[in-house]
A = this chain, B = another copy of it.
Amino acid sequence: MTKMPKPLYLAAGAYTMSLGTGRPEFNPRVARPGLEHYIQEVGRDVFAQIDDPETIDEGVIGNFMAARFNKQGHLGSLMTIAHPSLEYKPMIRVEGACASGGLALATGIKSVLSGLAESVLVMGVEVQNTVKAVYGADILAGAGWFAGERKEGGTYFFPQKFSDRAGAYGQKYGVEKSREAMAHWYATAVENARLNPLAQEHFNKVKDLLSQGLTPPDARTFCEHINLFHCSKVSDGAAAIVVCTKEGYKRLGLKRKDVIKIVGYGHATANLTAPPPDLTELTTSRRASAAARDMAHISTNDYGVIEVHDCFSITGMLSLEALDLAAPGQSMDLIAAGENKRTGRFPTNTGGGLVGYGHPTGATGVRMAVDLWKQLTGKAGAYQVPLKQEHGIMISMGGNDKTVVSLVVKR
């Protein structure tokens, strides 16, 4: 695909707080909000930005595991509670593990390109705090090949998988140096989260984040090559944004300055039952983001702002390499130099990302698009960065680099 077949836009974004143990609002003694609450809260915030709710033609919702966390399927039908105008419209739930939000965006894009819709409400939601983290880890292992590889994973399946990647990366490029880069990643994530009132780490007051990030991994209590600070957090939350045509955003009552253009799109899927070809690379992320970049006809120098899927610090580092911002093994230098910080060359995960904001799995891909939209329209508030370039890119990744959706957007 040489070019996006017709001009598409992202408009009217919103996301909720990422609720988890890092928030004072997280209270184990009271019933916490359910899926219904988050769908309605984020729906309210989107519909407050648009003139005529009837101009939303369709809805798509990304969700990973409400079936187990909440015993709830059929979220397309549940999504209608976001606004009465959605009743009887086409609604669908899509899923691709932690890339469910990215797939929701892809689905919205295709709906608009199909000509069957002009404006599609794209939402993502996950409510995970219904079970203890140890049970949650088993649920999330359904993003891997459960029948085939679950037994390998121990208690914490995905942390173990990415610990293995961190171990392989360290062995190849230097254990100490890679741990330092992971610690820098963590520190930057929390620094960014402190500027984002919706982030789970917003109230984190730790003075020496770097030392904390360097805490030696303990295989007896967690994993061999990563510590808890290098993990994204168990979170409840939702995000939503509208994918639309030019005519679509005008009918929503919005102006060009309120929206951003989608100029590139890539989607790649690897075999769930096969091990990654190389533990030190995100092969599928590389393919999807290269496709998005090719469609957008831009180079790696054109990114003004970046969103990557740092489910773990190591994944953030590998994502920068998958984006060709650094050769294999060299993202560590960029990170040590602070190039991914808000003051750096390519501000990355400016609202905190998965490590700092949190990771309500089905919502995450959509939250990324909302953060790009906030930055490129100047709506990011305290965490707004001065833009040096007009483009943004995101990688929404599911499982161990198995499903990846990448978008390139433009101010």
Contact = CB atoms under 8 A, between A and B. Distances in A.
- How many copies are assembled? 2
A88 B138 CA distance: 26
A399 B73 CA distance: 10
Given A67-B68, A113-B115, A114-B114, A271 B80 contact: yes
A296 interface: no
B74 A402 contact: yes
A92 B96 contact: yes
A330 interface: no
A372 to B, nearest CB: 21
A368 interface: no
Interface string A86-119: 1111111111110000010011011101111000
A248 interface: no
A13 interface: no
Contacts of A270: 77, 80, 87-88
A374 interface: no
A403 interface: yes
Interface string A45-81: 0000000000000010000110110111111111011
B74 A97 contact: yes
A385 interface: no
A113 B117 CA distance: 11
Nearest to A111: B110
Interface stretch (A143-151, A177-185, A300-308): A143-151
Given A88-B287, A103-B92, A284-B88, A143 B68 contact: no
Interface string A270-286: 11110000000000100
Interface in A217-234: none
Given A5-B115, A115-B113, A145 B78 contact: yes
A267 interface: yes
Query: Which secondary structure dominates chain A's binding surface?
Result: mixed
A55 to B, nearest CB: 16
Contacts of A399: 74, 77
A268 interface: yes
Given A106-B92, A107-B92, A78 B272 contact: yes
Nearest to A115: B5
A77 B273 CA distance: 8
A204 interface: no
A57 to B, nearest CB: 10
A142 interface: yes
Contact of A77 (B1, B97, B107, B147): B97
24 contacts: A5-B114, A36-B147, A64-B73, A67-B67, A67-B142, A68-B68, A71-B142, A72-B146, A73-B97, A73-B143, A74-B144, A74-B272, A74-B403, A75-B95, A76-B403, A78-B272, A80-B269, A88-B269, A89-B269, A92-B96, A92-B103, A92-B106, A93-B95, A110-B114
- Which 6 residue pairs of A and B lie closest in terms of their CB atoms, listed nearest first? A113-B114, A67-B67, A90-B267, A77-B272, A91-B269, A73-B142
